Amino acid sequence: MHWNLVAPELIQQAVRRDEGMLADMGPFVAVTSPHTGRSPNDKFVVKDPDVAEDVWWGKVNQPLSPEHFDALAADVRRHLDASSDLFVQDLWAGADPTHRLSVRFVSPQGWHVAFVRTRLRAPRAGGLGGRPGT
Render pLDDT for 78-116 as a digit per residue (tens, 0 to 9): 999 999 999 999 999 998 999 999 999 999 999 999 999
Question: Residue 123's pLDDT band (boundaries 50, 70, 90)?
Answer: confident
Give the H or E element holding residue 115. Answer: helix 110-119
Q: Is 18 helix (H, G, I), strand (E, B) or coil?
A: coil
- pLDDT computed for residue 125 by the predictor: 61
φ, ψ for residue 34, nearest 5 deg: -85, 0
Classify each residue of 84-117 as buried b or exposed e, where b means 16 or more C-beta atoms within 10 Å of its C-beta: eebbebbbbeeeeeeeeebbebebbbbbbbbbbb
Q: Which of 83, 99, 115 finishes a domain?
A: 83
Residue 9 domain flag: yes
Residue 95 domain flag: yes
pLDDT surpasses 90 at 36: no
Residue 114 domain flag: yes
Question: Residue 134's pLDDT band (boundaries 50, 70, 90)?
Answer: very low
